Structure 1
Amino acid sequence: MAAKTISFPKGKGHLTHNNRDFICKNVVPERTVWNRIYIQEPLKDAYEKCFGQALRDYNATQKRKDRRKEDYLKEIENSCNKERTFYENIVQIGKKTDTPVADENGVLTEDAKAAIAVLEQYARTFQERNPNLYLFNCVMHLDEATPHLHIDYIPVAHGYKNGMKTRNSLTKAFQQMGFAKAVSRKQNETVAWQEREREYLTELCREQGIEIEVLGIQRDNLSLPEYKAAMREVEQLEQQAVVLDKRNEALEQQNDDLAQKTSELCGQVQEMEAQNNELVLQAQKLTEQIEEAEAKEKAAKEVLAKHDLRAETFKMISKEVAAETKSMKSVAVPMTNLFGSEEYVKVKKSDWNKILDAFSKAVSRNHLLEKYEKKIFGLEKKTAVLADQVEKLKRFVASRGLGETFVEFLKSLAPKTMKQKLEDAKLDAVEHNCQRKNQQALTEKNKRWQQEM
């Protein structure tokens, strides 16, 4: 068996491709049934399993609703720090020239069988070796040129002091699995983890009798002067590499700082949007309160107007009563009192009845006047209170800078004019004509294409 290479690159994470929701050109559909599925869990369910409890614990400590997290998966998808929801590595033993899946007769090759055994063992032990990398999707493809695995995992890091206690962090997940912190771009947690995984794959290959070829190593015989010159060149390159590493570290630090600032700005933007939404809601409430107050004021004014009308009526009635009283006084005939000095008057019985009737009406009218005066006083007081509330609401709108927003909001409530309706209808007609022309052009194009065929 010829020596083979080990490939362990990062994948793009196309789950629909991995799970064969669609078939690419390089896939042999007849062999898709050969594929092996180790785990297929929806990403949303995996996030709930990994971070659901941490998210609930975090939200329970937040008093403000705008600081609560609704969906951690969406937060990572929309992250300003370019975080990834999950990571993928593709594991392959050999190339299509030395490890084809099937021979010319469509039979599984011996080289492929050996590679499959290695990949099988690697897939089944991945989660045990990597407790902080939650494996939610893992498949082996045997319907392409060479056997290979798609390993899709979510990095899970614990022990954060602020925010959620458990989060998505690849670097911290590697550190919690025992890998040392990065000292340079070439010596970091990811590189160390990849080296460990390659070593494990190499051991599995040896158990299957597969010799591993390490690319990039040349064994040339050099003379002493050539060797010294080469070593000097190597030293210079190493010094340049050190300088570049330092620059990279500085750039990475700047990048981290920028990412932190970006995250803070995103938080501020979200907070400002929440405040703006709150102000809009307040403006709507103020509008309703102002409209309600104005309606009450209008109703009170109408009631007052009615009472004013009644008051004028009472004045007219009072004048009429005064005239009647004067006429009644004229019919009274003075008489001398034989038993005292007090003066008496003599009136006819019919006039006396009129006097009694007028007196009764006057008493009733006085009672009504007193009653309505009290009501009028109460309504005037209520109207003054409502007017004061309206003024306060207007001052509040002006102090919060909601004047323009408030005006625009009121405009949006106003019904459209006939001119605006006609303009909207014209725009709809133009859009409809454009769509119809495009459809006709497409139909003609299809006809020409069919004729050419």
Structure 2
Amino acid sequence: MAAKTISFPKGRGHLTHNNRDFICNNVVPERTAWNRIYIQESLRDAYEKCFGQALRDYNAAQKRKDRQKDDYLKEIENSGNKEKTFYENIVQIGKKTDTPVADENGVLTEEAKAAVEVLDRYAKTFQERNPNLYLFNCVMHLDEATPHLHIDYIPVAHGYKNGMKTRNSLTKAFQQMGFAKAVSRKKNETVAWQEREREYLTELCREQGIEIEVLGVQRDNLSLPEYKAAMRELEQLEQQAEALDSQNEALEKQNDDLAQRTSELAAQAQEMEAHNNELLMQAQELTEQIEKAEQKEKETNEILSKHDLRTETFKTISKEVNVETKKMKSVAVPMTSLFGSEEYVKVKKSDWNKILDAFSKAVSRNHLLEKYEKKISGLEKKIAVLTDQVEKLKRFVASRGLGEAFVEFIKSFEPKTMKQKLEDAKTDADEHNRQRKNQQVLPEKNKHWQQEM
């Protein structure tokens, strides 16, 4: 059996293609039933499992609602930090030339069977090997040219001190699985993880008797000087690549700093917007309070204007009482008591009688005022009831189309003007004269009739 290659590239993450919701031209529909589904979970459900509790804990700790997070999945989708909602790798053993799925008769080939065994074991052990990569979608395609897996996973990192305690972070997820921090672009967590996965796949292939070809520089067709020259050129290219990697890392750091600054500015903008919204709400509340106060003042003024006449009457009575009181005080002569420090006054008997009379009148007035107040209050209630009944009557008359007749009926109760009285008197006089003429004509007709008889 010829040596085969292991392919482990990054995928685009087209879940509709992976799950065959969308069929491409390179798919053989007759073999779609051969595909193997290991797990198919919606991305939103997967995010709820991975980050739901962390999101709820974070929101519960926030004192301000504007700092709470509504949708962590949407936040990652809109993130400016190059974060992805999930990642995909495509795992393939061999190529279509050496590992076709089916032969010319449409039967699964022996090469494909061996590759399927390797891919099956790899898929079933992926989650156990990678506890920080949550596998939410995994399918094996046998309806294309070569057997292959689509591995879709979400990186889950724990232990953050600020913000959500659990987050989406591929680098930190790899680090928490034991991979060392990156020292260069070629020596980072992702490369180390891919090398480990390739080694595991290579071991599985060997167990199935599949020889794996390790790609590299072949010396078979080169002389020693040519080989050394090629190696020196390769070394120079690697140095240039490392220099470019350093530049890229610096640019990426600048980009990360800018993204962080942008995120901070966005957070500040959100806080300012929330503050402005609070001020707007306060302004609206104050406006409503002012409107209520103005309405209350208007109602109070209406009540005061309604009772102005009564108030003026009370003022007049009060003035009269004050005048009478002054007169009473003027007739009293202060005198010192021989039996104590209390002051006494002396009045004439006639003045005393006046005082008693004034007191009696004052008491009577108070009683009358109280009586009239009660009577006025009762009349006001009756007026309110009658007004309500009149309004109901008006609505009833209007609903029956009797508006004009009702107006004429009301006018009949109004006092007549002098002109109307003269017209009515003239009409009555004309009617009286007409009746007298009729009475005079009737005897003459009777007399004439008797003569003819």
- 1:296-317 Cα offsets, whole Å, 9 max, x none, are 1211121222232433466789
Cα root mean square deviation, aligned? 3.2
Question: Does the 8 Å contact 2:136/2:153 carry over to 1?
Answer: yes
- 1:87-114 Cα offsets, whole Å, 9 max, x none, are 1111111222222211222211111111
Question: Does the 8 Å contact 2:133/2:154 carry over to 1?
Answer: yes
Q: Which residue of 1 aligns with 2:112?
A: 112
Q: Which residue of 1 aligns with 2:294?
A: 294
Q: Is the partner of 1:62 in helix, strand or coil?
A: coil
Is 1:211 aligned to residue 215 of structure 2?
no
Q: Matches of 1:344 and 1:271 in 2, distance apart? A: 82
Deviation at 1:20, TM superposition (A): 1.8
Q: Matches of 1:214 and 1:115 in 2, distance apart? A: 17
Q: Which residue of 1 aligns with 2:183?
A: 183
- 1:136-173 Cα offsets, whole Å, 9 max, x none, are 11111111221111111111111111122211110001
- 1:193-251 Cα offsets, whole Å, 9 max, x none, are 11111111111112212222344533244445444543443343233233222212211
Q: Matches of 2:260 and 2:118 in 1, distance apart? A: 42
Question: Does the 8 Å contact 1:81/1:263 carry over to 2?
Answer: no
Q: Is the partner of 1:102 in helix, strand or coil?
A: coil
Q: Which residue of 2 aligns with 1:305?
A: 305
Deviation at 1:318, TM superposition (A): 9.4
Q: Which residue of 1 aligns with 2:4?
A: 4
Q: Which residue of 2 aligns with 1:158?
A: 158
One-letter identity of the residue aligned with 1:199: E
- Which runs of 5 or more residues in structure 2 are unaligned? 322-347, 354-359, 377-453
Q: Is the partner of 2:46 in helix, strand or coil?
A: helix
- 1:37-82 Cα offsets, whole Å, 9 max, x none, are 1111222222222222222322332222222223322222222323
Deviation at 1:366, TM superposition (A): 8.9
Q: Matches of 1:343 and 1:263 in 2, distance apart? A: 95
Change (3 A) 1:287 1:25: farther
Is 1:251 aligned to residue 251 of structure 2?
yes
Q: Which residue of 2 aligns with 1:87?
A: 87
Q: Matches of 1:228 and 1:107 in 2, distance apart? A: 49
One-letter identity of the residue aligned with 2:368: S
Q: Matches of 1:154 and 1:206 in 2, distance apart? A: 30
Q: Matches of 1:283 and 1:117 in 2, distance apart? A: 70
One-letter identity of the residue aligned with 1:15: L
Q: Which residue of 1 aligns with 2:127?
A: 127
Q: Matches of 2:89 and 2:218 in 1, distance apart? A: 28
Q: Matches of 1:254 and 1:71 in 2, distance apart? A: 28
Q: Which residue of 2 aligns with 1:101?
A: 101
Q: Matches of 1:44 and 1:303 in 2, distance apart? A: 64
Q: Matches of 2:111 and 2:349 in 1, distance apart? A: 150
Q: Which residue of 1 aligns with 2:239?
A: 239
Q: Which residue of 2 aligns with 1:261?
A: 261
TM superposition score normalised by structure 1: 0.68
In the comparison of the two structures, how many residue pairs are matched?
343
One-letter identity of the residue aligned with 1:304: L
Q: Which residue of 1 aligns with 2:78?
A: 78
Query: What is the percent sequence identity of the aligned residues?
Result: 82
Q: Is the partner of 1:135 in helix, strand or coil?
A: strand
Question: Does the 8 Å contact 1:81/1:262 carry over to 2?
Answer: no
Question: Does the 8 Å contact 2:62/2:68 carry over to 1?
Answer: yes
Q: Which residue of 2 aligns with 1:194?
A: 194
Q: Matches of 1:23 and 1:228 in 2, distance apart? A: 50
Q: Is the partner of 1:250 in helix, strand or coil?
A: helix
One-letter identity of the residue aligned with 1:200: Y
Q: Matches of 2:352 and 2:156 in 1, distance apart? A: 114
Q: Is the partner of 2:310 in helix, strand or coil?
A: helix
One-letter identity of the residue aligned with 1:251: L
Question: Does the 8 Å contact 2:134/2:153 carry over to 1?
Answer: yes
Q: Matches of 2:237 and 2:172 in 1, distance apart? A: 31
Change (3 A) 1:197 1:270: same
- Which runs of 5 or more residues in structure 1 are unaligned? 323-339, 346-355, 373-453
Match for residue 368 of structure 2 among 352, 364, 370? 364
Q: Which residue of 2 aligns with 1:419?
A: none
Q: Is the partner of 1:70 in helix, strand or coil?
A: coil
Change (3 A) 1:4 1:171: same
Q: Which has the larger radius of gyration?
A: 2
- 1:5-46 Cα offsets, whole Å, 9 max, x none, are 211111111222212223222222221111111111222222
Question: Does the 8 Å contact 2:54/2:165 carry over to 1?
Answer: yes
Change (3 A) 1:361 1:97: same
One-letter identity of the residue aligned with 1:207: E
Q: Which residue of 2 aligns with 1:376?
A: none
One-letter identity of the residue aligned with 2:115: A
Change (3 A) 1:94 1:224: closer
Is 1:47 aligned to residue 51 of structure 2?
no
Question: Does the 8 Å contact 1:158/1:167 carry over to 2?
Answer: yes
Q: Is the partner of 1:158 in helix, strand or coil?
A: coil
Change (3 A) 1:34 1:225: closer
Is 1:272 aligned to residue 272 of structure 2?
yes
Matches within 5 A, 1:347-362: 360=364
Q: Which residue of 1 aligns with 2:28?
A: 28
Q: Matches of 1:54 and 1:130 in 2, distance apart? A: 21
Change (3 A) 1:53 1:2: same
Question: Does the 8 Å contact 2:219/2:227 carry over to 1?
Answer: no
TM superposition score normalised by structure 2: 0.68
Q: For structure 1, which segment, 292-301 or 43-52, has the greater mean C-alpha deviation from structure 2 after superposition?
A: 43-52
Deviation at 1:189, TM superposition (A): 0.5
